[in-house]
A and B are shown apart, each in its own frame.
Chain A
């Protein structure tokens, strides 16, 4: 008897689309995705100073990927690009 009632409850919940099936998880953080992955994504380029500057702190350090949401692979490319740009004096090693 108890099994039957539980089944009927689930069906009633499922039939009403406006009713949340789970009360938890109604609000959740929107996850940002990597700006360099996916279709028409940005390209990591050491010559694009304006782009690189978005991933640097005010003092010229590379921001951690947990803040910028860059994937591990592209963070690697990014750090190499920053170092090339620094060598060419496009961006400073230390900004004051």
Chain B
């Protein structure tokens, strides 16, 4: 697999690990947040923390779309599917997110709701075309990466004059979440960011400048392959040691300063900023999400079905909030691995493989069992 295996080379990883070990100052602690779930997944799947010195700590950020989706939004989707009997389409990870009354979209399906998993917004559009008498609603989630495909679907629906297609827009903005983290405890806690990969291909590297300039935190944009992550960590450590705070781009093979202008224009045409949006774990953040513009109002499922947002608190014992803010580790939550497991998630971080809790449970939980033998890395 050209262009992938090159970025998973074990030997190169070990030489990067050696470079990191050489450069870290033993008396320093380096607390680095990887914003994206894609990075969290890569770190866990390839066991990258084993390659880092003990004083380099990776903190999992909130960049996992299903993790930051509040219960109230999933309730919308379930209500539409069960009460309005629409065909509800969404991406796979959304199906298992726990919502009110012990439901999830998957459980709603078992109760007779027509819930479909799609790989693309265009699959949802095709369903609407094929079933003109059935309302088809696409439950759109994700950061800037998945927003342009939603915009394309809405524009196509308009061009086709579809009367039975609409979108619940839950698209959220990465920089807004980073601001929220830095304005809170994260400002003191964190020393730098491994910046988003795919998100940055769309928005470019420029939107991260304020974090370096105003908060003094270095940002290194990195690809999702293990060597990308290792290289970015090395670059962050060099910045921190030199007292620099800059936006650097490790992912130059895909990310430019200005990003994908065409995608940005498409998104700006279809969507506008919401005044405020509730994030799971981060609370209500102003100007942190998108909604459909007036010109596309007829494709807005919230308007079409008169959905009123109702905020629902997380499960009492669930620490997803603190984990998403980087204040706690998954294993510090008292229901981690007991009441809350990937098979039976209580909090959203346990749902997606990109979620901090699911990644740690699935790939790393043997580390807490000191009596569990550790194989020699070799």
A and B: bona fide binding partners: no
Which chain B residues have a beta carbon within 8 Å of chain A's beta carbons? none
Which chain A residues have a beta carbon within 8 Å of chain B's beta carbons? none
